[in-house]
């Protein structure tokens, strides 16, 4: 038994560079399989988190033309025909739970010596309820503040940290494009939503103030609303379309608005995530297969170079199963060694890359088990042909040829 193990280790480490190249091929396959699966699972969790603030009950009416690409609503044409009165007209639609006009734009924000450029969203008191935005501090807008043109603001989490740091912002005055606003609330950390917008990098103010004082316009960019029942969402969408077509005096062919359901964005985003996950899994398995083929080629070459060793062993009484087992064990050892290192590299890569790209950190056990199983299977497959070839070496012919 001791001699068998010496033969095994001696055969493996006789050509160290060849062994290293074989192991690297397996490492690349296993680590990429684990890493890509981690990215896929992380992307699913991220999408589920995005759904929390952009649920399937949400409908957006957007001014102009919009197309959904890669899970994001991209405005291709902007119009100024969507008015606050349109939003109020939609309140007559039965089944709408919350509704908010929205006007957004960039602005320079200052507090003492700190200043930054961020997104300003002019909304009403129902917008936070539609988006399910949690408050870390303070309160929501009051209806009297919306219609009373009060200059009050709710800060996104990043904006609060950049302007105030550890200082309490409640009741403090900030300047938005040189206009003073009093801080009444701070949003809890939210992150990227389904439209790929960073919801921590924004300031909410009353839409009435945004239109009249900050941007001096008479139109809005969009209307956000949520429905009471998902079963009625198609009927509500139809009613919204009919009301706005009539109000804007346009036809279906040349209408100046578009209705987008959150589920449309999420469906595209989910399909994109699934496609990405399937693609990277296929590539990773292909890499693992290529690594196994590399092991097969190297083991076959090893058999050809070790004919003398095999011939002597068979001449001394070694059976075919002993030769077969030796080369199978060598190929399995190579793939297992590469598999273990590949798992460690994949885990390390996940720890570094997932946070770097703002993905939630996950370690799916399924890919680890799959990687280990495939490594063993490919190791056995990689060793079968070389091992079989080794058993077919005739020691008599070698002895006649003098090796």
Instruction: Categorize the per-residue pLDDT at 28 as very low, low, confident or very high, splitting at 50, 70 and 90.
Output: confident
* Same structural domain, 117 and 245: yes
Going by C-alpha positions, the residue among 278, 386, 377, 388 that lies closest to residue 26 is 377
In a domain, 56, yes or no: no
Q: Are 190 and 133 in contact (CB under 8 A)?
A: yes
Mean pLDDT calculated for residue range 373-400:
67
What pLDDT does residue 2 have?
Answer: 42
pLDDT exceeds cutoff 80 at 366: no
36 and 89 fall within a common domain = no
Of 147-161, 194-208, 286-300, where does the model show the most confidence? 147-161
User: Do residues 315 and 386 share a domain?
Assistant: yes
Question: How many angstroms separate the CA atoms of 89 and 102, rounded?
Answer: 15
Is the same domain home to 160 and 101? yes
Same domain, 23 and 162: no
Which residue segment(s) compose the domain that 196 sits in?
A: 80-255
Last residue of a domain, one of 201, 221, 255: 255
Domain end call among 255, 279, 299:
255
Backbone angles phi, psi at 10, to 5 degrees: -65, -40
Is 208 in the same domain as 238? yes
Please indicate, yes or no, if residue 263 is contained in any of the structural domains: no
Q: Is the pLDDT of residue 75 over 60?
A: no
- 273 shares its domain with 230: no
Q: Strand pairing of 202-206 and 114-123? A: parallel
Percent of the chain clearing pLDDT 70 (strictly above): 71
The tens digit of pLDDT for each residue in 312-350 reads 777 777 677 777 777 777 777 777 888 888 888 888 888
Same-domain status, 202 and 288: no
- pLDDT for the residue numbered 208: 96
Considering the domain boundaries, does residue 55 fall inside one? no
Residue of 18 and 241 predicted with greater confidence: 241
Looking at the structure, tell me whether residues 98 and 229 fall in a common domain: yes
* Angstrom distance (rounded) from CA 378 to CA 131: 49
pTM (predicted TM-score): 0.64
**Count of domains forming the chain:** 2
Q: Length of the chain in residues, anyone? A: 403
């Amino acid at each position: 038994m001791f001699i068998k193990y010496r033969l095994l280790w001696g055969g493996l480490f006789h050509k160290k560079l060849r062994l290293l190249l074989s192991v690297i091929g397996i490492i690349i396959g296993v680590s990429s399989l684990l890493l890509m699966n981690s990215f896929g699972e992380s992307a699913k969790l991220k999408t589920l988190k995005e759904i929390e603030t952009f649920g399937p009950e949400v409908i957006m009416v957007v001014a102009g033309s919009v197309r959904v690409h890669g899970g994001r609503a991209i405005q291709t044409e902007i119009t100024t025909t969507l008015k606050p009165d349109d939003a109020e007209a939609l309140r007559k639609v039965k089944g709408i739970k919350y509704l908010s006009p929205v006007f957004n734009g960039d602005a320079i924000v200052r507090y003492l010596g700190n200043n930054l450029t961020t997104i300003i969203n002019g909304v009403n008191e129902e917008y936070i309820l539609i988006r399910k935005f949690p408050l870390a501090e303070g309160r929501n807008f009051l209806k009297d503040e919306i219609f009373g043109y009060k200059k009050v603001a709710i800060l996104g989490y990043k904006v609060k940290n950049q302007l105030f740091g550890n200082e309490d912002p409640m009741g403090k005055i900030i300047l938005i494009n040189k206009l003073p606003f009093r801080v009444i609330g701070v949003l809890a950390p939210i992150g990227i939503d389904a439209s790929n917008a960073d919801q921590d990098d924004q300031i909410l103010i009353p839409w009435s103030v945004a239109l009249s004082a900050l941007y001096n316009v008479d139109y809005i960019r969009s209307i956000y609303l949520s429905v009471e029942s998902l079963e009625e969402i198609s009927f509500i969408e139809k009613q919204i379309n009919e009301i706005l077509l009539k109000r804007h005096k346009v036809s279906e062919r040349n209408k100046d608005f578009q209705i987008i359901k959150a589920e449309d964005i999420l469906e595209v985003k989910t399909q994109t995530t699934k496609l990405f996950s399937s693609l990277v899994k296929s590539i990773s398995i292909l890499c693992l297969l290529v690594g196994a083929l590399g092991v097969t080629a190297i083991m076959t070459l090893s058999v050809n170079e070790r004919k003398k060793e095999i011939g002597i062993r068979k001449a001394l009484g070694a059976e075919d199963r002993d030769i077969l087992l030796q080369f199978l064990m060598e190929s399995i050892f190579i793939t297992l060694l590469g598999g273990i290192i590949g798992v460690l590299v994949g885990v390390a890569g996940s720890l570094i890359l997932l946070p770097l790209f703002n993905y939630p950190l996950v370690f799916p056990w399924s890919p680890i088990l799959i990687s280990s199983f495939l490594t063993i299977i490919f190791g056995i497959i990689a060793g079968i042909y070389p091992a079989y070839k080794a058993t077919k070496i005739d020691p008599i012919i070698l002895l006649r040829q003098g090796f």
